[in-house]
Amino acid sequence: MKIAMIGTGYVGLVSGVCFAEFGFQVTCVDKNPAIIERLQAGEVTIYEPGLDELLTRNARDGRLIFTTELASTVADADVIFIAVGTPSRRGDGEADLQYIYAAADEIAAAMKPGAVIVIKSTVVVGTNADVRAHIAKARPDVPFSMVSNPEFLREGSAVEDFLRPDRVVVGVHDERGSNAMKRVYRPLYLRETPMIVTTLENAEIIKYAANAFLAMKVTFINEVADLCEKTGGNVQDVARAIGMDNRIGSKFLHAGPGFGGSCFPKDTRAYAATGRKMNAPQTLIEQVVMVNEQRKRSMAERVIQAAAKSGAKTVAALGIAFKPNTDDIRESPSLDIIPALQKAGLTVRAHDPEARSAAEPALPGVVWCKSAYEAIEGAEITVLLTEWNAYRALDLKKVASLMKGNLLFDLRNVYGEQDIDGTGLEYHSIGRPRLG
């Protein structure tokens, strides 16, 4: 079985590499020649633990090819995955499906009879049926199957998530589509990974509902943290206890500076927009979107107020990526917080272990540093924005001695009382009592 993977971003590249690891012949296509040139040269274009080794091995063994030639690749493929971006449309928050339709047009022109076309990108309900009609109109002579196969991998553990998912969801409209998916995911099936075979529409709604629910859980615990701060509570103790209830579960109950990343912000906006359009208001998620935006502003405000009170001029920002183990900065809270600090007249010295090259053009005026300690040097305030392992065990006495001031804002609750005691730092975290 030959697989074509259209789009070699976080989802397309990881999926393509992992399908090759399953033993299939995979050709990954991207319209960006710079990405393909680097991949052809054996260079991994995104930072994702474990990807390097799998990519090198499968490319060397001839199961994995990279090209910009979509037409010839599709003409030869049995299963064609679409993994292009579906960003937010400016203004209304709806998902911008232009890349999906552009890829669909190119696929329609080149596909062979019996091809199975699979949308892996996150698309709003109705898109698969619409794309199917669109392709059928362009090529009424060619039989093909449409499949919706939303992806649930997380950046930072994408390879592991792809190879060991909680479940695989496939939406189909015919047996050929469902049989193709059973073959493609057979290695996981053998490991007893549940496979939900459902309708195109269900698969589309499942993806958005899952992300909306997780974003809501994060927003919920952030608001609990606010209440803890005002009342002397500790959000970590509260989260731990409520999370032990199996009906709630302990995951996604970590309070922080607001969710970011390439999925939750755009997917909650698109989900809410779909609800408005379909006259089925998703009121909870509308609130989640609004509260999360406010949260990022309020985080910056905390630091700005502390700076004004203490006369601080320089802030060290540790971590730009929206979470650890990725170089992805899309909609990272740091992209709101750092410019707000700069606007308030503060100088920002920043460090991130992997995201600097992505972040530099997005954050003009920032002083980039090679290590956390270099960033901290001379700063009156340090803000920990992303919980990279490299920031989990900083020598806080050294931090205090390098800093000009002594304020540490830990927006990820990495440190505790025992770490702060005796350092001379004034420690502010999220939803926990102030220390020092």
Site residues, ligand NAD (CB under 6 A): 6-12, 29-32, 35, 70, 83-86, 99, 102-103, 106, 121-122, 151, 153, 155, 262-263
Check the annotation: does 385 bind a ligand: no
Q: State in angstroms the smallest separation of the CB of 119 from ligand NAD.
A: 9
Q: State in angstroms the smallest separation of the CB of 29 from ligand NAD.
A: 5
Check the annotation: does 31 bind a ligand: no
Would residue 263 show up in a list of annotated catalytic residues for this protein?
Answer: yes
Catalytic option among 18, 28, 228, 263 = 263
> Which one, of 146, 153, 174, 135, lies nearest residue 79 by Cα?
146
Give the distance, in angstroms, between the CA of residue 105 and the centroid of all CA atoms in the same chain. 27
> In what helix (H) or strand (E) does residue 81 lie, and over which residues does it extend?
strand 79-82
Neighbours of 72 (CB within 10 A): 13
Check the annotation: does 417 bind a ligand: no
Q: State in angstroms the smallest separation of the CB of 203 from ligand NAD.
A: 13
| β-strand pairing of 25-29 with 2-6 | parallel
Contact indicator for 367, 349 with CB cutoff of 8 Å = yes
Check the annotation: does 295 bind a ligand: no
> Which one, of 306, 301, 296, 320, lies nearest residue 379 by Cα?
306
Check the annotation: does 207 bind a ligand: yes
- DSSP tag of 150: -
Q: State in angstroms the smallest separation of the CB of 246 from ligand NAD.
A: 26
Of 218 and 235, which CB lies nearer to ligand NAD in the complex structure?
218
- DSSP tag of 89: P
Tallying the residues shown for the chain, one arrives at 436
Q: State in angstroms the smallest separation of the CB of 394 from ligand NAD.
A: 28
Of 108 and 430, which CB lies nearer to ligand NAD in the complex structure?
108
Of 172 and 263, which CB lies nearer to ligand NAD in the complex structure?
263
Sheet holding 64-67, edge to edge: 64-67, 25-29, 2-6, 79-82, 115-119, 144-148, 168-172, 195-198
Cα separation, 82 vs 108, in Å, equals: 12
End-to-end CA separation in angstroms for the chain: 62
Q: State in angstroms the smallest separation of the CB of 9 from ligand NAD.
A: 2
Contact indicator for 118, 100 with CB cutoff of 8 Å = no
CA angle 337, 210, 224 (to 5 degrees): 50
Check the annotation: does 66 bind a ligand: no
Check the annotation: does 266 bind a ligand: yes
The one-letter code for the residue type at 234 is N
Q: State in angstroms the smallest separation of the CB of 299 from ligand NAD.
A: 23
Of 52 and 374, which CB lies nearer to ligand NAD in the complex structure?
52
Cα separation, 377 vs 316, in Å, equals: 8
Of 78 and 106, which CB lies nearer to ligand NAD in the complex structure?
106
Of 151 and 419, which CB lies nearer to ligand NAD in the complex structure?
151
Residue nearest to ligand NAD (CB): 9
Check the annotation: does 255 bind a ligand: yes
Of 111 and 317, which CB lies nearer to ligand NAD in the complex structure?
111
Cα separation, 353 vs 204, in Å, equals: 35
Cα separation, 19 vs 23, in Å, equals: 7
Contact indicator for 173, 132 with CB cutoff of 8 Å = yes
Supply the residues annotated as catalytic.
263
Binding residues for NAD(+): 30, 86, 122, 155, 266, 330
Binding residues: 30, 86, 122, 152-155, 207, 252-256, 260, 266, 323, 330
Binding residues for substrate: 152-155, 207, 252-256, 260, 323
